[in-house]
Structure 1
Amino acid sequence: MPTAPTPRTWVVGEVVTAAKMNEIRDAFNFLLNPPIFELTHSGSISPATSTNALMPFNGETIDRDNGHNTVTNNSRYTSQTAGYYMLTGGVGFTSNGTGKREMTLLVNGVDEYYPSSIPGLAAGFTGMTSAGRVYLAVNDYAEVQVWQNSGGALATNSTKGGPRFGGHWISK
């Protein structure tokens, strides 16, 4: 589990050693390769009307910190490195002009961030995105939750990239 490095405070007279220089190398390596993830779903799900549903993600484009499992709790990205993350989610629903569609980012199953809402469209698909910064401690998890009220189950769109969920570590 990577930890964001803490810069050394040098003192007068301190001798430069290889171990101390490696701390600088390790900090640069962390900043050049921070935790980042992009999760995908290869099919569609059909949330029931007026019911919150967590988006499952059965694929990964990248998961540098191993925070996602495509089988167990596959709706979750679990932070392995504490810090602020920029999270982004995107989902589309198939054509249906009744009601509205909503999407929000959840942290630990309860805290809602950056909700998105749009009326249903009778032609084409209804696409939504949401993005924002959240703090995740080690073992906190983030998810994408959707809701729709078309009057029946409504499929998410699996074309044009399908549902996505991503994020990257930005600071301590």
Structure 2
Amino acid sequence: MALGAPAPPVRAAGSRLTGAAYGSDVTDSINFLTNPPEFVGLQNAVQSIPNATWTALTLDAEQLDSYNGHSTSTNTSRYVAQVAGWYTVCGVYATAANATGFRAARIQVNGSPVLGAAAYAPVASGTVEMGVVTPTRSIQLAVNDFVEVAGYQSSGGALNTVLDIDMRTGLWVRFSRAI
């Protein structure tokens, strides 16, 4: 079922506000504005990230998914837009300690990178886990477009994500406005 952001009603001059019209014109709009599409997904299981390959990061736990745009069992890296519009999106890639190469995170829409939505970080030391946070971006999504956070590492071998209590791979998506 495709949902939509409420639009201002158009009524003929002199028409009366019936109960049904009130429900669709007023109540539905207030309900949408007080409960817009919003998603917070996190990783609760370690994921192995191959060397030198952009990899969509799995999100097997939800803190919030107000419009059921995410599944914890199928395509778990994806948040699928249920309402067309502009969304504010940010992600983080939390990676195990390793002294070689660099780490990066980016936002992807339908598997393709979003221009200006990647962050690269040199490794500070081989003893510290690190999180790479994408820039927060406004991204236009159509219904059924999907957004992901992807990670990249160049250590020379596979590296796991980490599950610290204060740092974890995640994705945040919030509807900002209609198109």
TM-score higher than 0.5 = yes
Contact 2:45–2:163 (CA<8 Å) still a contact in 1?
Answer: yes
| 1:50 aligned residue | 52
Q: Structure 1 counterpart of 2:120, which letter?
A: S
Give the Å deviation of 1:146: 0.8
Unaligned runs of 5+ in 2: none
| 2:147 aligned residue | 142
CA RMSD of aligned residues (A): 1.4
Contact 2:106–2:113 (CA<8 Å) still a contact in 1?
Answer: no
Aligned length: 172
Match of 1:115 among 107, 115, 118: 118
Contact 2:106–2:150 (CA<8 Å) still a contact in 1?
Answer: yes
Contact 1:96–1:121 (CA<8 Å) still a contact in 2?
Answer: no
- Is it true that 1:157 corresponds to 2:162 in the alignment? yes
Give the Å deviation of 1:37: 0.7
3-state SS of paired residue (2:26): helix
Contact 1:40–1:163 (CA<8 Å) still a contact in 2?
Answer: yes
| 1:4 aligned residue | 5
Match of 1:129 among 116, 123, 133: 133
| 1:97 aligned residue | 99
Give me the whole-angstrom Cα distance separating, in 1, the residues matched to 2:45 and 2:123. 20
Give me the whole-angstrom Cα distance separating, in 2, the residues matched to 1:150 and 1:111. 22
Give me the whole-angstrom Cα distance separating, in 2, the residues matched to 1:52 and 1:145. 6
Q: Structure 2 counterpart of 1:126, which letter?
A: M
Match of 2:64 among 62, 65, 70: 62
Unaligned runs of 5+ in 1: none
Contact 1:48–1:154 (CA<8 Å) still a contact in 2?
Answer: yes
| Alignment deviations for residues 14-60 of structure 1 (CA, whole Å, 9 cap, x no partner) | 32222222211110110000011111111221211111111011111
Where in structure 2 are the equivalents of 1:76-87 lying within 5 Å? 76-87=78-89
Give me the whole-angstrom Cα distance separating, in 1, the residues matched to 2:26 and 2:8. 8
Under a length normalisation based on structure 1, what TM-score does the superposition of the two structures give? 0.93
| 2:19 aligned residue | 18
Q: Percent identity?
A: 33
CA 1:6–1:80 in structure 2 vs 1: closer, same or farther (change >3 Å)?
Answer: same
Give me the whole-angstrom Cα distance separating, in 2, the residues matched to 1:112 and 1:21. 40
Give me the whole-angstrom Cα distance separating, in 1, the residues matched to 2:121 and 2:101. 9
